[in-house]
Amino acid sequence: MSDSVNRRHFLSVSAAASLGASVLGAAAPVPVGSKRPIVVASGNGLQTVEKAMERIKAGADPLDAAIEGVAIVEADPEDHTVGYGGIPNEEGVVELDAAVMHGPTHGGGSVASLRNIMHPAAVARLVMKRTDHCLLVGEGALKFARAHGIPETNLLTDEAREIWLHWKETNGKESDWIAPPNSELSPAVRKFFGIREHGTLHCSALDTHGNLGCVTTTSGLFYKIPGRVGDSPIMGAGLFLDNEVGSAGSTGRGEANLLNLSSHTIVEGLRRGLAPKDALLEACKRIVATNRNPRLRDAKQRPNFQVKFYCVAKDGRYAGASLWAGAQMAVHDGDSARLVDCASLYDDPEPN
Ligand code: GLY
């Protein structure tokens, strides 16, 4: 690259970065390297991988790129599992969990039960960069975000409130709340009849220097007990990376990952030389082996819940796998973004 092309490259990169930096606090870009970048995400992350790859190609740090990618979904009222528009806890309050890990520094930060902040992943990065800690929760996390001038927002959209209200009106025989006839309910409310998702968005990014970054962000289990924290903000459970090995993360029933430190298990599998798909399926099998709670087993003693895993290895190989069939992941390999089918431990579709 000539000096003038280089200067032009840095000017356009700086302009884009300063726009992102004002909202999301990204670091200054570095020149792009020569390795093939890869970005993977959960199936709700197609726009995420597109944005993250765009930023990586402009020289952004892989974690900054991933955070900019997930910010699109965090701000999307249509995704009821992440950020703004997330389904609230049982009291109708949206509580968000998020964590980030940065490969080159092996740094990490997270927030849990954070209210009123649309971009918890960006706050998690501030915990990593601007404190000596790894995890801030609840009121302390909110005060920390306020101290950094992060704007507060009512995260409960009308649609999420209506979905929650219908759950409240139909949950339990002793309730004094009365639901209207189904014919009066909106299609959005009807779509979520009987569903308690663990949704979530994970993104792992490998940049052109072979450096990794990852983020997991969620509004957690629908109608959760206030203060319930899932796997997403827990490093080793909802995400993990080692810059010399690979990056992994998960969506689905977080308690299963908390009890098995699944993302750490996956990265350790990659370290032992397992192929990405096999490392993910090993984590699935670990969940099956340790799931001894009869409430969480089907008639064949299999988990009656879904967990999905995604990983990218240091050399660019990647995979997605889940307990039950039908899951997809988003991938950008530097050429194009697309949804691809995940492998699964069982051939049957996800139980309801
Ligand atoms: N995996 C997201 C959660 O359980 O909250």
Q: What pLDDT does 172 receive?
A: 77
Question: Is there an atom of ligand 1 within 6 Å of 249 CB?
Answer: no
The Cα-based distances of 181 to 12, 90, 186 in angstroms read 56, 22, 11
Q: What is the pLDDT of residues 153-195, one digit of tens each?
A: 999 999 999 999 999 999 877 788 999 988 899 998 888 888 8
Residue 308 lies in a domain: yes
- Measure 322 CA to ligand 1 centroid, in angstroms: 14
Q: Residues within the annotated binding site for substrate?
A: 228-231, 251-254
- Which residue, by CA, sits nearest to atom 4 of ligand 1? 254
Q: Determine the pLDDT at residue 33.
A: 86
Ordered strands of the 343-344 beta sheet? 239-242, 246-252, 307-313, 318-322, 343-344
* Residue of 242, 251, 253 whose CA lies nearest to 103: 242
Last residue of a domain, one of 191, 215, 243: 191
Distance 217 CA to ligand 1 centre (A): 9
Q: Is the same domain home to 141 and 181?
A: no
Q: Is the CB of 110 under 6 A from ligand 1?
A: no
- Residue 332 resides in a domain: yes
Considering the domain architecture, whether residues 72 and 215 belong to the same structural domain is answered as yes
As a whole number of angstroms, the distance between CA 292 and CA 296 comes to: 8
Q: Which of 235, 226, 200, 40 is nearest to 128 (CA)?
A: 235
CB burial of 257-284 (b: ≥16 within 10 Å; e: otherwise) equals bbebbbbbbbbbbbeeebebbbbbbbbb
Q: How far apart are CA 213 and CA 221, in angstroms?
A: 25
**pLDDT given at position 277:** 98
This prediction's pTM = 0.92
Same domain, 326 and 272: yes
User: Is residue 21's pLDDT more than 80?
Assistant: no
pLDDT in tens, 191-239: 888 887 778 999 999 999 999 999 999 999 999 999 999 999 999 999 9
pLDDT reported for residue 24: 65
Token output for 112: 């849990």
User: pLDDT tens, 127-146?
Assistant: 999 999 999 999 999 999 99
Residues 64 and 137 in one domain: yes
Query: Could you report the per-residue pLDDT of 254-264, keeping only the tens digit for each?
Result: 999 999 999 99
Asked if residues 150 and 25 have their Cβ atoms less than 8 Å apart, the reply is: no
In a domain, 17, yes or no: no
**Which CATH number does the domain housing residue 102 bear?**
3.60.20.30
Average confidence (pLDDT) over 113-119: 98
Average pLDDT over residues 99-113: 98
Task: Check whether residue 204 and residue 339 sit in a common domain.
Answer: yes
On whether residue 78 sits in a domain, the answer given is yes
- Whether 13 has a pLDDT exceeding 80, the answer reads no
71-93 average pLDDT score: 97
Assess whether the C-beta atom of 344 lies below 6 angstroms from ligand 1. Answer: no
Cα 6 to ligand 1 centroid, rounded to whole Å: 43
d(CA 139, CA 74): 20
- Start-to-end CA distance of the chain, whole Å, equals 55
Residue 7 above 70 pLDDT? no
Q: Which of 191, 213, 241 is the last residue of a domain?
A: 191
Cα–Cα separations (whole angstroms), residue 305 to 44, 253, 295 = 19, 7, 10
Could you tell me where the DSSP H helices lie in the chain?
3-24, 46-57, 62-74, 120-130, 138-147, 158-170, 187-191, 254-258, 262-271, 276-290
Q: How far is CA 36 from CA 26, 33, 44, 210, in A?
A: 22, 9, 23, 8
Which of 138, 172, 191 lies at the terminal end of a domain, its last residue? 191
Q: DSSP label at 304?
A: S
What's 157-204 look like in SS3? CHHHHHHHHHHHHHCCCCCCCCCCCHHHCCHHHHHCCCCCCCCCEEEE
Active-site amino acid positions? 200
Say if residue 104 is in the same domain as residue 133. yes
Q: Convert the pLDDT of each residue in 56-77 to its tens digit.
A: 999 999 999 999 999 999 999 9
Residues 183, 114 share a domain: no
278 and 294, same domain (yes or no): yes
Ligand 1 touching residue 218 (CB < 6 A) = yes
In a domain, 37, yes or no: yes
Name the residue with the closest Cα to ligand 1, atom 5: 220
Same domain for 182 and 152: no
Among 8-17, 40-49, 157-166, 200-209, the minimum mean pLDDT is found in: 8-17
CA of 254 to the centre of ligand 1 (A): 4
- How does DSSP classify residue 121? H
Calculate mean pLDDT across residues 300-325: 97
Secondary structure letter of residue 249 according to DSSP: E
How much is the pLDDT for 22?
47
Task: Say if 100 falls within a structural domain.
Answer: yes
Range of the domain at 177: 158-191
Q: Is 9 domain-assigned?
A: no
Phi, psi of 277 (to 5 degrees): -60, -40
100 with 131, same domain: the answer is yes
Structural domains of the chain, count: 2
Ligand 1 closest atom vs CA 97: 5
Q: Is residue 70 part of a domain?
A: yes
Q: What is the pLDDT of residues 265-310, one digit of tens each?
A: 999 999 999 999 999 999 999 999 999 999 999 999 999 999 999 9
34 and 64 housed in the same domain: yes
> 85 and 180 share a domain?
no
Q: Which of 20-29, 46-55, 57-66 has the lowest mean pLDDT?
A: 20-29
Residue 20 has what pLDDT?
Answer: 44
User: Can you tell me the distance from the alpha carbon of 331 to that of 319, in angstroms, rounded to the nearest whole number?
Assistant: 9
